[in-house]
Amino acid sequence: MAEEKGTKRSIYAALVANALIAISKFVAGFASGSSAMLAEGAHSVADTVNQVFLLISLPLSQRQPDPEHPYGYGQDRFFWSFVVAVGLFIAGAVFSFYEGATKIAGESEGGESFLVAYVVLGAAFAFEGGALVVTVREFLGAAREEDRSFWDHFKRTRNTTMKVPLYEDVAALVGLVIAAAGLFITQLTGNTVFDGIASIGIGVVLSVVAFQLGSDSRALLIGAAAPQEDRQRVHDAIASFEEVNEILRLLTMHLGPNAVLVNAEIHVVDDLNTDQIEELIEHITHTIQEEMPEANQVFIELRPPRQPGPE
């Protein structure tokens, strides 16, 4: 699938960029004594490790179903995205808060090589910007494949693995701007408190991103339904059969980024024989999968009509 290839390209672009940037940020941080630069270095290390986690998740999630996991391993992608969110907070945000607090308390010392820090910040901005361009391009391609706008696809997609590089690249660019501002004000005033404040600001950005990513992944791990638009399409597909009197219940759950379980309980007309019922269920299943190709597990159950409640 094109989206899967795009996901890999986004991850590889982010991995290479973050690994190179992490090294240069730490060099600049130690040379200038900037806590914000060291915080940005920790941020890039966290991002690099996170890309490795995401690469691990791809083959793990594509394993075939087995007796222990009859619906496959697609939710592995959600688990590793959640691990990325936790890692982003612990390795990035916590370190940034610590460095900022240390600098504000006046317990950190460093050199005066501000020029090195500015050069690294500029290079890092260029690399991160390039990685973001790759990620946005792949995301736009996936959105076009689904006939959606960029923002509509961002809100509706369950491919958290593709969203992670987008989150991280945007956070990285914002963090670089904060680090540059903190470094510049520190150079002008000679007061390292501003550098510490910048480091804490980076920690706040990383915390927000980690929380949002973690929330998305958690919702899917505990059994999130398909988006409302997709559920309505499935409902309409079933209701289009004149043999169906009533849809008593329709349940959906994401088994992976592109895998959905659909369970429908329906009441049909009374004059159908066994062969006709089997044929109807087969046609309903086929129609659902035409409307929502990711519905790879479809279960149609027959139920008696709802009984009126007591007056």
Q: Where are the alpha helices (DSSP H) in the chain?
A: 2-32, 35-61, 76-87, 95-104, 114-145, 150-156, 160-189, 193-221, 228-239, 274-291
Contact 168, 85 (CB under 8 A): no
pLDDT digits (tens, 9 = 90+) for 27-48: 777 777 777 777 777 777 877 8
309 located within any domain: no
pLDDT mean over 164-183: 86
**If DSSP codes are grouped into helix, strand and coil, which group holds residue 1?**
coil
pLDDT mean over 283-309: 85
Contact 150, 139 (CB under 8 A): yes
Q: What CATH number is attached to the domain comprising 94?
A: 1.20.1510.10
Alpha-carbon Rg of the chain, whole angstroms?
Answer: 25
Instruction: Determine the pLDDT at residue 263.
Output: 96
Give the other-Cβ count within 10 Å of 213's Cβ.
25
pLDDT for 307 beyond 70? no
**If DSSP codes are grouped into helix, strand and coil, which group holds residue 66?**
strand
**Do residues 65 and 81 both lie within one domain?**
yes
Domain that holds residue 176: 2-221
pLDDT for 227 beyond 70? yes
Residues paired with 247 in a beta bridge: 266
Instruction: Determine the pLDDT at residue 285.
Output: 95
**Do residues 205 and 233 both lie within one domain?**
no
**Do residues 159 and 267 both lie within one domain?**
no
Average pLDDT over the chain, rounded to an integer: 84
Region of poorest pLDDT, from 201-205, 269-273, 305-309: 305-309
**Do residues 263 and 190 both lie within one domain?**
no
CA distance 258 to 145: 13
Give the other-Cβ count within 10 Å of 242's Cβ.
8
Instruction: Determine the pLDDT at residue 308.
Output: 55
Beta strands at 259-268 and 244-256: parallel, antiparallel or unpaired: antiparallel
- Burial readout 159-178 (b: 16 or more C-beta within 10 A, e: otherwise): bbbbbbbbbbbbbbbbbbbb
CA distance 126 to 118: 12
**Do residues 207 and 234 both lie within one domain?**
no
pLDDT digits (tens, 9 = 90+) for 253-276: 999 888 999 999 999 988 888 899
pLDDT digits (tens, 9 = 90+) for 110-148: 445 678 778 888 888 888 888 888 888 888 888 888 788
CA distance 91 to 108: 19
Give the other-Cβ count within 10 Å of 190's Cβ.
7
Instruction: Determine the pLDDT at residue 113.
Output: 66
CA distance 67 to 50: 30
**Do residues 246 and 217 both lie within one domain?**
no
Instruction: Determine the pLDDT at residue 2.
Output: 52
Contact 145, 195 (CB under 8 A): no
CA distance 88 to 42: 9
**Do residues 179 and 280 both lie within one domain?**
no
**Do residues 161 and 261 both lie within one domain?**
no
Total domains in the chain come to 2
What residue type is assigned to position 57 of the chain?
S
pLDDT for 90 beyond 90? no
Q: Taking CA 249 as the corner, what is the angle to CA 247 and CA 251, rounded to the nearest 5 degrees?
A: 125
Side by side, the strands of the sheet bearing 244-256 are 244-256, 259-268, 297-302
**Do residues 145 and 284 both lie within one domain?**
no
